[in-house]
Structure 1
Amino acid sequence: MSDRSVVFQLLGVTLLWGGNYVASAYLLTAFSPILLAFARLTVTCLLLIGVSLRGGGIAKPNRQEWVLLILIGVTSSLLYQIFYFVGLARTSAGNAALIIALSPVATAFLARAILKERLTAFKLTGALVALAGVAIIVLNGGRVTDASSGDLFILLAMTMLASSVLLIRKATMTMKSRDVTLYSTIIGTLLMIPAAGAERLQGHMYYSGQPYPWALLIVMALFAQGMAGLWWNHGISKVGASASAMYMNIPPFVAILVAYAVLGEPIRLAQIAGGALIVAGVTVSNAKAKKTSNRGDYVPWRRI
């Protein structure tokens, strides 16, 4: 697959994740946080199993790969989902967008420390420019609220997301990204069963009796979580952890556009300026990633 196709896939992920902000906020009025996360993961698992079986079967991981898959499942499918939905239910979408947008910076520095990826001036500049764009959008969008317990949960979610990017990058050095997505999602879903049980025992579980919220849940699970997850892990395997992480800055801008189209919220000049900075930051970082891809950043898929 060409580099251009990978870029289009990563841009597709940002569109799906940007719309997911609005959809998730709505679904949290119809479902309790842990139940929502568990139900979405379950639907995603069914999709990924079907994709894998149709794509020629599933590779069997070795012992070292199982360790990585478990860690990815815990960070990206279990803890990230729990922290994200619990946090989003307790804080504003603006706060959540800003905090999660810090993950590219965290990923870049973790990639330098753990995976020895080069922290070039282009990557650092791109990260800071894109983050400045996110700050302009959120701070001038009138969406920031006082610090709350929800912000702490979103901060934990951001940390899990940044950590999982590095783990996915390492796992896709020896496994297909499709298999990594499948195994880690199944592991995370299974591990979330006790959390869902605890939510029910504590009397905090609730769900809608109307068909529309369930239909929206299934659609978002299939596309914003399932297909986007496949494209996201594929992108990490192709362009590296730091370059892929730059795209995490775009969903807040997309969310503003979706909110305008769906909810009729106005778009401010500061939001347009912030969006331009986000695009500029991603472009700068991605252009450098392409230039360095022939010096070890690209690692092809390999079946075990």
Structure 2
Amino acid sequence: MSDKSVVFQLLGVTLLWGGNYVASAYLLTAFSPILLAFLRLTVTCLLLIGVCLRRGGIAKPNRQEWALLILIGVTSSLLYQIFYFVGLAHTSAGNAALIIALSPVATAFLARAFLKERMTGFQLLGALVALAGVALIVLNGGNVTDASSGDYFILLAMAMLASSVLLIRKAAMTMKSRDVTLYSTLIGTLLMIPAAGAERLQGHLHYGDHSYPWALLIVMALFAQGMAGLWWNRGISKVGASASAMYMNIPPFVAILVAYAVLGDPIRLAQIAGGALIAAGVAIANAKAKNTSNRGDFVPWRRI
């Protein structure tokens, strides 16, 4: 695969991810949050099973790998999806995209806290700049009902995503990345069943009566959550994590523009200013990644 085709794939991923925030916000008008998360994960599982079978089968994990996969499934599939969709139901697609963009910086902080990895001056400066951007977005409130509570749930989702990166990195030392993705997604899907049952018992579960929301759900699960993730992993393997990191700054601004055009969400000055700070922070934090061999995990596989 040529470098040009990889670049086009990475650009396609950023457009899919940016549009996915808006599609998810729209789907929440037809589906309850937990049910929506469960259905999307189910469709993604079916896609990943097909991909893995086509590419040589599915490896059988050992006991230690199963422990890691369960932790990844809980953080990156179960809790991330719940926090993400519950938060998105009470905030704007633009805010959600901007806050999730902080995940690479949060990953560096967690690696420093739990793995005792050295944090460079560039990473620390980038983290502070990016955190200032998130604070600007969250503390400014918004023009949607309960925007602040939604933003806090999205922050929890971002923390789950960042935590899962460290676990995925360790699991990928002995397993193929696609197998890690498949098993963790499958585990998260199974664990989501009791959560969906609880949502039904509480009387909050609902789903769309028309075919269009169901079709959109399937399309976005297949492409924005399934294929885009595979393309993203391929892009990282071809051009490197530091080069791929630049593309992570694009989806939030795509989400803001698409949300404005499709949903009529206003574009707020705090979003633009906060987004610029987050993008600058991520760029600063990755400034030395080119010269450091162990920074490949700084760019997480995205699950949105």
Per the TM superposition, whether the score is higher than 0.5 is: yes
Indicate the larger mover: 274-283 or 68-77: 274-283
In the TM superposition, residue 101 of structure 1 has moved relative to its aligned partner by: 4.2
| Shift in Å, 1:118 | 3.1
Structure 1 residues 229-279: Cα deviation after superposition (integer angstroms, max 9, x where no partner) = 334566788967x99888665432221122244346665777666555554
CA distance in 1, matches of 2:7, 2:69: 25
How much has 1:25 moved relative to structure 2?
0.9
Gapped runs of 5+ residues in structure 1?
Answer: 300-304
Pair 145,195 (structure 1): closer, same or farther in 2 beyond 3 Å:
closer
C-alpha deviation, 1:154, in angstroms: 2.6
**8 Å contact kept, 2:15–2:251:** yes
Contact 2:130/2:280 (<8 A) preserved: yes
Structure 1 residues 200-239: aligned runs within 5 Å? 200-232=200-232
What is the aligned partner in structure 1 of residue 22 from structure 2?
22
Q: What residue in structure 2 maps to residue 197 of structure 1?
A: 197
Do the aligned partners of 2:105 and 2:130 also contact (CA within 8 Å) in 1? Answer: no
Distance 1:48 1:94 in 2: 28
Q: 1:120 matched to which residue of 2? A: 120
Which residue number corresponds to residue 291 of structure 1? 291
The residue aligned with 2:301 is: none
Contact kept in structure 2, 1:129 and 1:278, CA below 8 Å: yes
Shift of 1:206: 1.0
CA displacement 1:3-62 (0-9 Å, x = unmatched): 998887665544332212111111000011111011000000011011111111112212
CA contact (8 A) 1:177 1:237 kept: no
Count of matched residue positions in the alignment of Structure 1 and Structure 2: 296
Report what 1:44 is aligned to.
44
Q: Which moved more, 1:114-123 or 1:257-266?
A: 257-266
Residue identity opposite 1:69 in structure 2: L
Please give the alpha-carbon distance, in whole angstroms, between the structure 2 residues aligned to 1:269 and 1:147: 16
Cα distance in 2, alignment partners of residues 132 and 191 from structure 1: 35
CA distance in 1, matches of 2:10, 2:164: 16
Where do 1:73-222 residues align within 5 Å?
73-93=73-93, 95-97=95-97, 99-133=99-133, 142-143=142-143, 149-222=149-222
Q: Is the CA contact (8 Å cut-off) linking 1:78 and 1:192 kept in structure 2? A: yes
Check if 1:259 corresponds to 2:259.
yes
SS at match of 2:288: helix
CA distance in 2, matches of 1:237, 1:62: 25
Q: Percent identity?
A: 88
Query: Does structure 1 residue 65 correspond to structure 2 residue 65?
Result: yes
TM-score, normalised via structure 1 length:
0.80
Q: Is the 8 A contact 2:102 2:278 kept in 1?
A: no
Letter in 2 for 1:262: V
CA distance in 2, matches of 1:275, 1:85: 21
1:302 aligns to what?
A: none
SS of the residue 1:167 aligns to: helix
Q: Tell which deviates more after alignment, 186-195 or 252-261.
A: 252-261
With over 3 angstroms needed to count, the CA separation of the structure-2 counterparts of 1:282 and 1:151, relative to structure 1, is closer
Sort the Cα spacing of 1:93 and 1:216 in 2 relative to 1 into closer, same or farther, 3 A: same
Take 2:251 and 2:216, find their aligned partners in 1: how far apart are those partners?
Answer: 19
| Aligned-CA RMSD value | 3.6
User: Using the alignment, how far apart are the partners of 1:149 and 1:138 within structure 2?
Assistant: 9
Measured in 2, the distance between the counterparts of 1:6 and 1:64 equals 34
Letter in 2 for 1:126: G
Greater shift in the superposed pair: 105-114 or 53-62: 105-114
Cα deviation, 1:149-193, whole Å, max 9, x if unaligned, reads 444433322221121111111111221111111010011101111
| Contact 2:80/2:158 (<8 A) preserved | yes
* Higher deviation after alignment, 80-89 or 138-147: 138-147
Amino acid at match of 1:112: R
- Give the drift of 1:105: 3.3
